[in-house]
């Protein structure tokens, strides 16, 4: 069985609509609603809309708070470190010149990537029906054990 044909098991109830992961993440990274792909996902730089103006999908319950920042640090850090090491090996520059080059690039790269990455994380949560994006409320379950909170 290949990964393309795998469908999650469902017992009883209505068949859930398919939510392709790649398409949902791409729509989120483009700043569009992961459901319809038309409505705006952000009302401000990092503030998502409460509800899509086109399809009515509720987005207010997302939990894309810390993961986007960690992903930005990971991606930007690896890319800039490769650039820093390459330039240090090719050119003989003093430390303050490296600092003058790489510090502004780090800030600029982080600011340019944080919104698309946050949108992608919201798209991922929507595709996997996490944190209220499904048909059930998962607030009353213990995430470590999957059972009800005592």
- The whole-number average pLDDT for the span 68-88 is 97
> Which residues lie closer than 8 Å to 100 by C-beta, 6 or more apart?
none
Instruction: Report the SS3 class of residue 62.
Output: coil
| CA 66 to the chain's CA centroid | 10
* Residues 65, 49: Cα–Cα separation, whole Å: 14
Selection from 98, 64, 93, 69 nearest residue 81 by Cα: 98
Average model confidence (pLDDT) across the chain: 86
> Which residues lie closer than 8 Å to 42 by C-beta, 6 or more apart?
31, 48, 49, 115, 119
In this model, does residue 113 exceed pLDDT 80?
yes
In this model, does residue 146 exceed pLDDT 70?
no
* Residues 17, 5: Cα–Cα separation, whole Å: 15
């Amino acid at each position: 069985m290949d990964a393309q044909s795998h469908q999650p098991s469902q017992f009883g109830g209505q068949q859930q609509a398919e939510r392709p992961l790649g398409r949902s993440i791409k729509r989120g990274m483009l700043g569009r609603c992961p459901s319809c792909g038309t409505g705006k996902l952000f009302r401000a730089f990092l503030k998502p809309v409460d509800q899509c103006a086109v399809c009515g999908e509720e987005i207010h319950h997302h939990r894309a708070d810390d993961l986007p920042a960690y992903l930005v640090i990971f991606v930007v850090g690896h890319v800039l470190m490769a650039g820093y090491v390459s330039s240090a090996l090719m050119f003989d520059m003093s430390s303050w010149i490296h600092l003058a080059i790489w510090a502004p690039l780090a800030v600029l790269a982080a600011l340019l990537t944080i919104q698309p990455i946050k949108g992608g994380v919201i798209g991922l949560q929507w595709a996997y029906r996490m944190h209220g994006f499904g048909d059930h409320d998962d607030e009353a379950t213990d995430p470590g054990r999957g059972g009800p909170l005592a």
